[in-house]
Structure 1
Amino acid sequence: MTESPVPPEVLTRRVMDFVRSHLSDLDLSERVIADNLGVAIAQIRDLSASTQFDLDRWIVAERLRLAHHTLARQGSGWHPEQSRRWGFGSTSDFIEEFTAAYGVSPRDWQRISAEERRAGRPPDERC
């Protein structure tokens, strides 16, 4: 008996939910996602191809969003090894990706956010 494929919109939501709850897993991959969702890896790949959804880039973007949010709320003292907590295996990759995405380094973003809080303003989430 063959299992019927999961409809794309359902699979997309399940993939997104799974990824968001496993962002810190360094081994997060198509295979891990497929295995945990009980679908064939081909379904994950087909979903990415049919929707032009770059799963790997989206995972990085979600990890960066989490780091951006966390750093904005931390008082100070960002340490490069924190990047592993957000699923980045390399601190230099994290810094490079963060800076490219937000236009400031993680350390500068944390400093800017702290200054904004002290001034009674919410951090500019666009940075």
Structure 2
Amino acid sequence: MTDNAVSTLPADIADALKRDADGLVAAVIQQHDTGEVLMLGWMDDEALRRTLTEGRVTFWSRSREEYWRKGDTSGHVQLVRSVSLDCDGDALLVQVDQHGAACHTGELSCFAHDLEATAG
């Protein structure tokens, strides 16, 4: 967990998380009804607690070193539909109802730029 917060995340959830060296877990954000992957963000225990209890997605900004709730400045909110932890405990899947663009560039998804790859 980042140094900035004292979390009240339930112990069973906190114990299941495998955090990186900075106390963070990757959070994949997906549109609940279409399955489109919208973005990737990072959460510490407190950001996850807020996401689970407030109904809106909160991230930990690694560059600004502060919490940010998606949509507070842009109006492009992410309403939480479900949160799942992967089998290794090191990634979250957050299904949302996205209102507006998910990406700071104005695109619906941050994954709008396809790379050429050989199909296998």
The answer to which structure has the higher helix fraction is: 1
- Rg larger in structure: 1
Q: Shorter-chain-normalised TM-score: which range?
A: under 0.3
The alignment's TM-score, normalised by the length of structure 1, stands at 0.24
Q: Which fold has the larger relative contact order, with Cα–Cα distance below 8 Å and residues 6 or more apart in sequence? A: 2
Judging by fraction of residues, say which structure has more strand: 2
TM-score with structure 2 setting the length: 0.25
